[in-house]
């Protein structure tokens, strides 16, 4: 599919660049069980290779959206922030989780070069992490409940059995997605 205009990013691309750009197929990947955070960067690199990310030498793509919820979202967020690569070595197979590991590498391998922030590169700067529909739904539910709590939601929650102070707090803060959906459906349908 050819791109005609670029709404998502506000960059000025020449017409020739737009005609050469294509929207790639969605990659369906499952994270499975992640036992150790050290396994996650390797998985991200595999995604980058499959997607044709430019820094891995497999394509022209410079960034990619990654959409996930829950535990994978939290792990990905940390991995994106903490996984570093050495600009001096520039070996894509070497990644360092955290500033301490990177400084140890820099002191051992490049002690003659003074350390600056420019010595390191975030390995996964090409990832644009987006929350999935579950997070968007929960945030919308919290907003709706918060906006309408004093109007009618507090009384409705009491009628549905959320009588104690702690139960009222739980209903107001939307701590249980399923119970809160029940309250909102009751408010909407009146059943």
Domain ranges within the chain, ordered by starting residue? 26-131, 133-189
Give the per-residue pLDDT at 90. 66
pLDDT tens sequence across 134-175: 888 888 999 999 999 999 999 999 999 999 999 999 999 999
Using CA atoms, how far apart are residues 37 and 76, in angstroms rounded to an integer? 9
Least trusted range by pLDDT, from 8-22, 73-87, 122-136: 8-22
Enumerate the β-bridge partners of residue 122: 84
3-state secondary structure 86-147: ECCCCCCCCCEECHHHHHHHHHHHCCCCCCCHHHEEECCCCEEEEECHHHHHHHHHHHHHHH
How many CB atoms are located within 10 Å of the residue 168 CB?
Answer: 16
What 3-state class would DSSP assign to 68? strand
Give the per-residue pLDDT at 13. 38
Where is pLDDT greater, at 190 or 21? 190
pLDDT tens sequence across 97-134: 788 888 888 888 888 888 888 888 888 888 888 888 88
Give the per-residue pLDDT at 41. 55
How many CB atoms are located within 10 Å of the residue 2 CB?
Answer: 9
Closest of 38, 30, 14, 8 to residue 98, by C-alpha: 38
CB under 8 A, 24+ apart: contacts of 73-77: 73/129, 73/131, 73/132, 73/135, 75/34, 75/37, 75/40, 76/40, 76/44, 76/127, 76/129, 77/129
């Amino acid at each position: 599919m050819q791109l005609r205009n670029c709404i998502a990013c506000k960059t000025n691309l020449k017409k020739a660049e737009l005609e050469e750009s294509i929207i790639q197929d969605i990659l369906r990947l499952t994270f499975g069980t992640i036992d150790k955070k050290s396994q996650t960067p390797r998985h991200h690199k595999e995604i980058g290779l499959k997607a044709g990310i430019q820094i891995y030498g497999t394509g022209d793509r410079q960034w990619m959206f990654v959409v996930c919820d829950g535990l994978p979202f939290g792990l990905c967020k940390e991995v994106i922030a903490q996984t570093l690569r050495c600009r001096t070595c520039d070996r894509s197979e070497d990644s360092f989780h955290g500033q301490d590991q990177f400084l140890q590498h820099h002191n051992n391998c490049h002690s003659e070069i003074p350390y600056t922030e420019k010595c390191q590169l975030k390995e996964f700067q090409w990832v644009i992490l987006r929350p999935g529909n579950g997070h968007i739904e929960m945030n919308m539910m919290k907003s709706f409940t918060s906006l309408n709590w004093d109007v009618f939601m507090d009384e409705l929650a009491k009628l549905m059995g959320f009588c104690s102070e702690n139960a009222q707090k739980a209903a107001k803060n939307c701590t249980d997605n399923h119970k809160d959906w029940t309250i909102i459906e009751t408010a909407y349908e009146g059943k």
